[in-house]
Amino acid sequence: TAHISIREVSKTYPPAKRGGSAVEAVRSVSVDVAKGEILGVVGYSGAGKSTLVRLINALEPVSSGYIEIDGVDITSLKSRQQREMRRGIGMIFQRFNLLRSRTVAGNVSYALEVAGTPKAQRAARVKELLDFVGLGDKADNHPEQLSGGQQQRVGIARALAAEPGILLADEATSALDPETTDEVLSLLQRVNRELGITIVLITHEMEVIAKIADRVVVMERGGIVEAGETYDVFTNP
Ligand code: ADP
Ligand code: ADP
ipTM of this predicted structure: 0.75
Q: What is the mean pLDDT of residues 210-218?
A: 95
Whole-angstrom Cα distance, residue 119 to residue 109?
A: 9
Give nearest CA residue, ligand 1 atom 7. 50
| Pocket perturbation via mutation, ligand 2, pick of 112, 126, 127, 145 by most ligand atoms within 8 A of CB | 126
**In 3D, which of 164, 111, 161, 207 has the Cα closest to residue 3?**
164
With helix as H, strand as E and coil as C, how does the chain read? CEEEEEEEEEEEECCCCCCCCCEEEEEEEEEEEECCCEEEEECCCCCCHHHHHHHHCCCCCCCEEEEEECCEEHHHCCHHHHHHHHCCEEEEECCCCCCCCCCHHHHHHHHHHHHCCCHHHHHHHHHHHHHHCCCHHHCCCCHHHCCHHHHHHHHHHHHHCCCCCEEEEECCCCCCCHHHHHHHHHHHHHHHHHHCCEEEEEECCHHHHHHHCCEEEEEECCEEEEEEEHHHHHHCC
Which of 9, 12, 21, 23 gets mutated to test ligand 1 (max ligand atoms within 8 A of its CB)?
A: 23
Whether residue 18 is predicted with pLDDT greater than 70 in this model: the reply is yes
Mean pLDDT of the chain: 95
Average of per-residue pLDDT across 160-167: 97
Q: pLDDT value at position 29? A: 98
Q: Identify the pLDDT of residue 236.
A: 62
Contact by Cβ (8 Å): 167, 155? no
pLDDT above 90: percentage of residues in the chain: 95
Nearest CA, atom 10, ligand 1: 48
Give me the percent of the chain exceeding a pLDDT of 70. Answer: 99
Region 151-162: mean pLDDT is 97
Q: With a 6 A CB cut-off, is 21 part of the ligand 1 pocket?
A: no
Question: What is the structure's pLDDT at 237?
Answer: 59
Distance CA 44, CA 206 (A): 10
